[in-house]
Amino acid sequence: MSRTILKIACASLIASAAIAAHHAAGATDAAPASPQKKPYTVKDGKVDINTYHGYLYYGDQCMRCHGPDGAGSSYAPNLTESLKVMTKEQVENTIINGRKHVDSSNEKVMPAFGTNEDVVENMDNIYNYLLARSDGALGRGHPEHLDP
């Protein structure tokens, strides 16, 4: 059983890595990599189109547990706080493989999204949206987007 899960997880990591690489190539023009440069743009409360897509897919796939605007629910963590202590790699790994915390006082399980095309293809966008929220650059609610 565990081997099968491992295989699936590995397969999805490879798939996501390939997709992520593809995305990164496409995204380079919009946001060149630099240690100072944030991977999102927020101007007058409006966000770049990729971050906007991150907002949409967050609402689609993550909000049902993590609450509106990444702010946490009665049982799932506030991601605007989590992103202050997690690296991008840790976040991606958690999204792809999920996470389990089940014992006598916890029933927390995050599913593995590695086979979910919509999540994998938008993982950078979702991360950037949450980072903008975590950095305090973007407020709550439905953002408007800048012209693509």
Rule CB under 8 A: which residues touch another protein?
Answer: 55-61, 63-65, 67-69, 71-76, 78, 98, 100, 102, 104-111, 113, 115-119, 139-142
To the nearest whole angstrom, how small is the minimum distance from the Cβ of residue 36 to another protein? 28
Tokens of 94: 């958690």
Q: How far is the CB of 116 from another protein (least distance, A)?
A: 4
- Sheet containing 42-43: order of strands: 42-43, 46-47, 144-145
Find the shortest distance in angstroms from Cβ 74 to another protein: 3
Longest dimension (CA), the chain: 51
Return the SS3 of 108.
strand
Map 24-38 to HEC letters. HHHHCCCCCCCCCCC
Nearer to another protein, 32 or 148 (CB): 148
| Cβ at position 40, least distance to another protein in Å | 17
Q: Nearer to another protein by C-beta: 33 or 53?
A: 53
